[in-house]
Amino acid sequence: MLSRLTVSDFRNHEDALIVPTHPFLVLTGENGAGKTNILEAVSLLTPGRGLRGAPLREMARQGGGGGFGVAAQVNEVTIGTGTLPSAPDRRAVRIGGTQSAATALAEHLSVLWLTPAMDRLFAESPGGRRRFLDRLTLALHPGHATHSARYEAAMRSRNALLAQAHAPDPAWLSALESQMEIHGEALGAARTETVAALTEVLAAESESPFARPLLALEGWAPNGSPLNQQLREGRRRDAAAGRALSGPHRVDLQVTHIATDQPAALCSTGEQKALLLSIILAHAALVAIRTGHPPVLLLDEVAAHLDPSRRLALFDRLSATGGQVWMTGTEAALFDGIDNATRLHVEAGRILPR
């Protein structure tokens, strides 16, 4: 859990200090006050670009010094990230006072989030679902971020070589394709294991007021031949397409609503949100079982569209995870069913006690 969060020159917050004293932390305030910005700050304490996926330079406060900082105390270790005014697009990470790679953050904290922007996750492009799956996988396999970064780097280099006007060096291409195979196999294995483990947890759950999902991986599959062989044989095709058409970057997470036997993409927005909640709750339980440390959950405006009985059911399920939960809402009354919570009010970038 985060025992302390400090934010400086981030979004609309000049400076902020939050010291959670309960498993639940509730942020309330008007739209635009800066509630989601706090959740985004927490999300940056893991590999990746956070819950909005925004460019780093957009995160620095307008009228500030040009950079930003986010730091937290996690299990007696201080972790932090941010940018300098001289390098607004370059992320710096420090763990225990030592400069580190962003991928190393996964060894200290796992964070999962649900935002209103994700309500149509199942109806949009596979890329969003893949990023969601990778966030689930990362909590169970901390090395997943490193494999993903190295796979993407090798793929970008290969695409650039294939785009050259003259014939690329075949030895260099082969080396890059071998790197893609090494890290691609690790990505595929971790994703497959995560989906299988989640499926077991979901199957073992008793009835709940939330939709029950069935998970599956679709899209690209090895089909018996090594990835580097597929890439080697597909060079001309990939050069014409301008991208690699084989590999784990083509995998898609498919979700089916078991009760209606409908793909999630064809379900209502409310059903899709319920499916997401089921996945996140099952994942939190799985991580707690596997690691002894449930993930930190960031739930943005999640209670606003639930009826009172489902809100209470959600709070009970969240409490049962044993993890820390950060929630936002415009009305304090939405969280009346939570007994033990640190309650804060956000107003124009300021954090005030309630």
pLDDT in tens, 47-91: 999 999 999 999 999 999 899 999 999 988 999 999 999 999 999
- CA dihedral of residues 258, 260, 262, 264 (deg, nearest 10): -70
Residue matched to tokens 């859990």: 1
pLDDT in tens, 2-44: 999 999 999 999 999 999 999 999 999 999 999 999 999 999 9
b/e sequence 9-25, b meaning 16+ C-beta within 10 Å: bbbbbeebebebeebbb
pLDDT in tens, 150-207: 999 999 999 999 999 888 899 999 999 999 999 999 999 999 999 999 999 998 887 6
Q: What pLDDT was estimated at residue 156?
A: 97
pTM: 0.89
Q: Residue 49 contacts by C-beta under 8 Å, 6 or more apart in sequence?
A: 55, 56
The pLDDT confidence band at residue 211, using thresholds 50, 70 and 90, is: confident
